[in-house]
Amino acid sequence: MNVAWSRPLRAGFVLVGVLVCGLVLPSALVLLSPAAAAGQALGQALKQPLIGGMPPLRLERKATSNGSKREFTSITLLPGRGLNTFQITANLPGKGETELLRSPSLDEAAQKLNGQGDDAFGNLNHSFGGAFLIPFTSRAGGELSADKSLVNVVWHGKTIHLPNDYLGHYSVHGLLNMMKAEDLHVRNTRDGQTLTAVIHAGDFNGYWLSKTDVHFRIALTGDAVDIQVTATNVGDEPEPMGLGWHPFLRIISGDRAQARVHLPADLYGVVDTIDGRPTGELKPVEGTAKDYRSPQGATMPDASTSINFSKLTRTGLARTELTQTGLTQTGLTSTGGSPGGSIDAWLADPEANYAIRVRGLSPEIRTLHLWSAKGDTFCAIEEQYNYMDAFGAEWKGMDTGLVTLKPDASTSWHVRLELFDPPQVPGDGAASK
């Protein structure tokens, strides 16, 4: 594992990995040693559990508003498990430091993420926190191999052999879940810290075409958590690529009934009633309980919810917003499906006086997936490239959102989290559809 800091850390900033055997790493020092040995040394020095053979990494900033406004304060990541954004915290007025993602303790996570049993293919990595779903999102179905260990899908006439790791006949949520990040670099910024890293995924342990490098840039400031993930084909043949993220957003008040969701989507994917596989039919949300387009959002049903939405409406970003994110896009429109606009999806918890926006900034993001378990107090709003079962014959040749990467080509997924006032609901503020 390579870890580097571009300058001395300021007071109030904490990074797992600052101390090695009781010593403070000086500015610009690079730790060069085998990943397992380096991870063990860092973990023992800071008494942190090793997860995927590496200690957690934490970006942190001090709150500056004395509790008068909402502001992000930290991000905890798991470099040994596909750089899962394990936890994000914010300082909320009247509540103080608050965890925004549903995750267990780090010690419990270390026990769960052991690569065995239910985690044999890394599947427990996307059961909490915020896993990155690469090189495809959601489930992929196809013909099973003779020993039923593989799901065989076809892309442009080539067969891809995926692990059979979900419900006995699907592969689910990509192949990055057990991979380790390298070349971790953290630098202090005016209002926080920024991490860059890379996962040399190669052919994803033999399950994918060509070879891929996945680069990460994760920036923490008071106003935003900005995440950019870039996949580059470093092999010698074309490959499909789908990118996404699976954040378990907490309903902080614990009252699911009044929480509200906004998704700017006109269509939803129909699934069968046996195991939730898509039928290939897309239906309008208009006039259904699946319509989350209202400016005030809508409540979720009491039952478990897993819906893939498409035909997304994008809204333009103000020039100040572009400046804050460092974007250089021009010619944004105010409404509609402009590829330069953003996908404004959010979860609001009026009882907690809290709302969080998941703003999709990449034009390649084609779907939003909403997932919430019955009786639970979380909501996953997943900004994704591809539709469910993107290789499936049920789509009858439709473009399902997978990007074709030729050798040396790249594609970037970009999402930003923002905190804001929950919208006012007409009447008594009770959430209803």
Give 219-266 pLDDT, tens digit per residue: 999 999 999 999 999 999 999 999 999 999 999 999 999 999 999 999
**Which residues, including other chains, have CB under 8 Å from residue 27's CB and lie 6 or more apart?**
5, 6, 7, 8
Q: Which is more confident, 84 or 18?
A: 84
Strand partners, 246: 131
Whether the per-residue pLDDT at 37 is higher than 80: the answer is no
- Can you say how many angstroms the Cα of residue 120 is from the centroid of all Cα atoms in its chain? 21
The model's confidence at residue 273, banded by pLDDT at 50, 70 and 90, is confident
Mean predicted confidence (pLDDT) in 343-359: 98
Strand partners, 132: 245
- Can you say how many angstroms the Cα of residue 297 is from the centroid of all Cα atoms in its chain? 22
Instruction: Look at residues 50, 93, 52, 43 and name the one whose alpha carbon lies nearest to residue 71.
Output: 93
Task: Tell me how many degrees the CA angle 223-229-232 measures, rounded to the nearest 5.
Answer: 160
For residues 370 and 308, what is the distance between their CA atoms, to the nearest angstrom?
7
Give 288-303 pLDDT, tens digit per residue: 999 999 999 999 999 9
The label of the residue with tokens 């005016």 reads 190
For residues 152 and 118, what is the distance between their CA atoms, to the nearest angstrom?
21
pLDDT of residue 339: 55
Task: Tell me how many degrees the CA angle 119-120-124 measures, rounded to the nearest 5.
Answer: 20
Cβ(67)–Cβ(79) under 8 Å?
A: no
Is residue 133 exposed (0-12), middle (13-18) or buried (19+ Cβ within 10 Å)? Answer: buried
Domain parsing of the chain, residue ranges = 2-420
pLDDT of residue 6: 45
Task: Tell me how many degrees the CA angle 117-123-126 measures, rounded to the nearest 5.
Answer: 140
For residues 173 and 23, what is the distance between their CA atoms, to the nearest angstrom?
39
Q: What is the largest CA-CA distance in the chain?
A: 62
Sheet holding 354-360, edge to edge: 30-32, 2-5, 182-189, 192-202, 212-220, 224-233, 410-420, 354-360, 343-349, 260-262
For residues 278 and 298, what is the distance between their CA atoms, to the nearest angstrom?
24
Q: Which CATH number fits domain 2-420: 3.10.450.50, 2.70.98.10, 3.40.190.10, 3.40.228.10?
A: 2.70.98.10
Cis peptide before 135 (omega within 30 of 0): yes
pLDDT of residue 340: 67
C-alpha distances in Å from residue 283, one per residue of 225, 271, 310: 33, 11, 10
Cβ(106)–Cβ(56) under 8 Å?
A: yes
Give 374-413 pLDDT, tens digit per residue: 999 999 999 999 999 999 999 999 999 999 999 999 999 9
Is residue 78 exposed (0-12), middle (13-18) or buried (19+ Cβ within 10 Å)? Answer: buried
Q: What stretches of 68-114 adopt beta strand conformation (E)?
A: 71-78, 84-92, 96-99
pLDDT of residue 278: 96
For residues 225 and 87, what is the distance between their CA atoms, to the nearest angstrom?
12
**Which residues, including other chains, have CB under 8 Å from residue 338's CB and lie 6 or more apart?**
314, 316, 332
408: left (phi over 0), alpha (psi -120 to 50) or beta: left
Give 302-330 pLDDT, tens digit per residue: 999 999 999 999 998 643 444 444 443 33
Contacts for 314-318 with beta carbons within 8 Å, 24 or more apart?
A: 314/264, 314/338, 314/339, 314/340, 314/341, 314/342, 314/343, 315/264, 315/341, 315/342, 315/344, 316/340, 316/341, 316/342, 317/341, 317/342
The model's confidence at residue 47, banded by pLDDT at 50, 70 and 90, is confident
The model's confidence at residue 45, banded by pLDDT at 50, 70 and 90, is very low
Share of the chain above pLDDT 70, in %: 82
Q: H-type helices in 75-132, by residue range?
A: 106-112
Give 140-189 pLDDT, tens digit per residue: 999 999 999 999 999 999 999 999 999 999 999 999 999 999 999 999 99
